[in-house]
Homo-oligomer: A and B are copies of this chain.
């Protein structure tokens, strides 16, 4: 059910956004005009990245902590503004439900944000799928560019968890239906165009990035790009509205720019650069998040988003829970409510590893936010604090889920304290390293793997991309979110191997995707998907959570 909130015009007014720069979508959502945003002067706002330990089925609450922290900062007089990611409808109807926080740490209007929102995902899928249709159409109508239909690198996109579309054969049914190809769909959030939109700095940059997208190989050995096809203008037109960031609010009225897609496992997983800059331009502290554990979310945030944009986090907040630490210590899900300090001490290696990485590899000032559950005990919380003390890192409990911003004021004060010694962000690898070396750097320094293996086809593709001049790009590793490893290994494994099975160039996004282990860029639905529980009753949408 959508909760009451202030009119979005009041939220915008609190940020000094003039009425004619506000494109309202109903009473409580809006887009903010890009021209107005780009005319904002530079300021010295602080950027706080919220990331997390490796996720568990117990739930850690990274989004609720981001929201609670922003609400808490507002409570103590800071002008905090959120920059968060838009939910995908795939998981909404799949396993997970909505992605707008929960309890009293909530984005509103939650139902609208979870369903369609302002149409950004639909625009991204439309641009993506028109592009692939134009490519197939070009091949069908004489193929002037000489594109090899066996080597089209683009896939279609849809915002549905649909395993059946992972690998398909198209153009059956005769000559009128085009040239038969094996291809497939990814979920929209994992599409290259999602990353292009998230990493674009402006409409012109968007068009340039779209033009650079590589369609695939040509028979003459070269590559065909969107610029060769001449359709970057149409794709930009389709995405023009979607590029403007969306403004909503928390239950407590804290402004939130919610823009760009999720899934740091199979995508780069950050909200848009434009939204992060909008939060920085309109507030004094911008709170942003990067998905799943810091091995995925923070690594990609820093090595891709920060590298490309020049943005630098002043502080990284790592979200952890006592329950998740016990889970990493081997406690089954059903027993997480019981005090178990030994298991917690065993599982805390996961949190410590993430903290060490953020400090050592990425040069971050780090604070740990312990998202409180009613079953946490004093002894357990103290054990966490003790374990982090040798790293010089504080752990602060926060009860925003139960108490809203009032429950997060301790965390907010600790964040202000840490911001006095801001991060000096460093990357995991330099631009100049080769693509294989970059993968090895992330694998050994962040995942603490013993090494990287490549399938023959992946190895061949990497070498080819380097020959073609893409060696300078950062890598975007797709792997399981549940572990530092590519398969589920609790705690802080070492010596495992990162097995890379597939390589995809995202020249428009400006990175090379390396797919490791058995991760899929199109999720499936479970046997009992959430879609069975969602309904509309008396005009209200129910069951989304």
Which residues in A have some Cβ–Cβ distance to B below 8 Å?
A: 20, 23-27, 31, 35, 89, 93, 112, 115-116, 118-119, 122-123, 125-126, 129-130, 132-134, 136-137, 140-142, 158-173, 176-179, 181-182, 203, 207, 230-231, 233-234, 236-238, 240-241, 524-527, 529, 531-532, 534-536, 539, 541, 543-544
User: Of all chain B residues, which has the CB nearest A536?
Assistant: B236
Main SS at interface, chain A: mixed
Residue pair B182, A172 in contact (C-beta under 8 Å): yes
Interfacial chain B residues near A165, Cβ < 8 Å: 133, 170
Residue pair B137, A163 in contact (C-beta under 8 Å): yes
Residue pair B119, A234 in contact (C-beta under 8 Å): no
Interfacial chain B residues near A118, Cβ < 8 Å: 119
Residue pair A141, B527 in contact (C-beta under 8 Å): yes
Given contacts A116-B238, A164-B178, 15 further A-B contacts (CB under 8 A): A23-B26, A24-B26, A35-B539, A115-B240, A115-B241, A116-B119, A119-B119, A122-B125, A134-B529, A166-B177, A168-B170, A168-B172, A169-B169, A233-B535, A234-B531
Closest Cβ of chain B to A393, distance in Å, is: 40
Given contacts A26-B24, A164-B177, A168-B172, contact A532 B230 (CB under 8 A): yes
Residue pair B170, A524 in contact (C-beta under 8 Å): no
Interfacial chain B residues near A181, Cβ < 8 Å: 164
Q: For A93, A129, A182, which residue has the most chain B Cβ atoms within 10 angstroms?
A: A93
27 contacts between A and B (CB under 8 A): A26-B31, A93-B130, A112-B241, A116-B126, A116-B241, A119-B122, A122-B122, A126-B160, A130-B531, A133-B161, A133-B525, A134-B529, A136-B163, A137-B524, A137-B525, A137-B527, A141-B526, A164-B171, A164-B179, A166-B173, A172-B182, A176-B524, A203-B536, A233-B543, A236-B535, A237-B535, A240-B541
User: Of all chain B residues, which has the CB nearest A239?
Assistant: B536
Given contacts A116-B119, A167-B172, A524-B176, contact A162 B136 (CB under 8 A): yes
Closest Cβ of chain B to A247, distance in Å, is: 13
User: Of all chain B residues, which has the CB nearest A535?
Assistant: B233
Closest Cβ of chain B to A256, distance in Å, is: 20
Interfacial chain B residues near A27, Cβ < 8 Å: 20, 23
User: Of all chain B residues, which has the CB nearest A544?
Assistant: B237
Given contacts A166-B173, A169-B169, contact A238 B140 (CB under 8 A): no
Docked CA distance A536–B243 (Å): 13
Docked CA distance A159–B238 (Å): 12
Residue pair A160, B172 in contact (C-beta under 8 Å): no
Docked CA distance A122–B126 (Å): 9
Interfacial chain B residues near A543, Cβ < 8 Å: 233
Interfacial chain B residues near A115, Cβ < 8 Å: 237-238, 240-241
Of B123, B169, B526, the residue contacting A116 (CB under 8 A) is: B123
Docked CA distance A31–B62 (Å): 34
Residue pair A536, B172 in contact (C-beta under 8 Å): no
Residue pair B172, A534 in contact (C-beta under 8 Å): no
Docked CA distance A222–B230 (Å): 51
User: Of all chain B residues, which has the CB nearest A167?
Assistant: B173
Closest Cβ of chain B to A186, distance in Å, is: 13
Given contacts A164-B181, A524-B137, A525-B137, contact A534 B237 (CB under 8 A): yes
Residue pair B541, A237 in contact (C-beta under 8 Å): yes
User: Of all chain B residues, which has the CB nearest A162?
Assistant: B133
User: Of all chain B residues, which has the CB nearest A520?
Assistant: B176
Closest Cβ of chain B to A162, distance in Å, is: 4
Interfacial chain B residues near A158, Cβ < 8 Å: 129
Closest Cβ of chain B to A125, distance in Å, is: 8
Of B26, B134, B166, B230, the residue contacting A525 (CB under 8 A) is: B134
Docked CA distance A27–B22 (Å): 9
Residue pair A207, B525 in contact (C-beta under 8 Å): no
Of B129, B137, B164, B238, the residue contacting A170 (CB under 8 A) is: B164
Interfacial chain B residues near A524, Cβ < 8 Å: 137, 140, 176, 178
Interfacial chain B residues near A169, Cβ < 8 Å: 168-169, 172
User: Of all chain B residues, which has the CB nearest A112?
Assistant: B241
Interfacial chain B residues near A167, Cβ < 8 Å: 171-173, 177
User: Of all chain B residues, which has the CB nearest A233?
Assistant: B535
Docked CA distance A415–B62 (Å): 63
Interfacial chain B residues near A163, Cβ < 8 Å: 136-137, 140, 171, 176-178
Residue pair A164, B24 in contact (C-beta under 8 Å): no
Docked CA distance A473–B400 (Å): 56
Residue pair A531, B93 in contact (C-beta under 8 Å): no
User: Of all chain B residues, which has the CB nearest A530?
Assistant: B234
User: Of all chain B residues, which has the CB nearest A121?
Assistant: B122
